[in-house]
Amino acid sequence: AQSVTQLGSHVSVSEGALVLLRCNYSSSVPPYLFWYVQYPNQGLQLLLKYTSAATLVKGINGFEAEFKKSETSFHLTKPSAHMSDAAEYFCAVSGNTGRRALTFGSGTRLQVQP
C-alpha cells in the first residue's frame, strides 16, 4: 500500500529564509507525487506534481521539489519565504496500480515570522 510521511507538523521560518518541508513516500511501484497548499477554511490548491519525468519539479509561487528515489523523498523547498506562504502543506502519493486515489500525509503547518 502506498503512503506518505511528512516530518514535522509545524515549521517556523523567518521571512526571507529557506523553506524546507519534508515528505517521504512508500510505494511498491514508481509513484506519482504531489504537493498541495491549503489556506484556512479553504480547499487544496496544487503546487506541483512529479510524474516520472524530470526529478526536479518547479511549481507555482516559487516552490520546487526534488524526487530522490534512493531516499524515497520528495521534499518541498522555496529559497526565500514570504509572509503569504503561511499555510498548511500536504504531500500526496498516487500509485500506478491498485488504489489510484490520492493518499495524503498528515500535513505541515508553515509559519512565517516577520
Residues that bind other proteins (CB under 8 A): 9, 32, 34, 36, 41-46, 49, 51, 90, 94-96, 100-107
Q: Are 89 and 48 in contact (CB under 8 A)?
A: no
Nearest Cα residue to 96 out of 45, 54, 51, 57: 51
- Residue 41 exposure: Cα atoms within 13 Å on the Cβ side: 0
Amino acid at 107: G
Cα distance between residue 78 and residue 95, in whole Å: 26
- Residue closer to other proteins by CB (options 18, 54) is 54
CB nearer other proteins, residue 41 or residue 84: 41
Choice between 17 and 38, CB closer to other proteins: 38
| Beta-strand pair 10-14/108-113 | parallel
The least CB distance from residue 55 to other proteins, in Å, is 17
C-alpha cell, 53? 519525468
Report which residue type is found at 75: H
State which residue, 16 or 30, has the beta carbon closest to other proteins.
30
**Whole-number minimum distance, CB 37 to other proteins, in Å?**
11
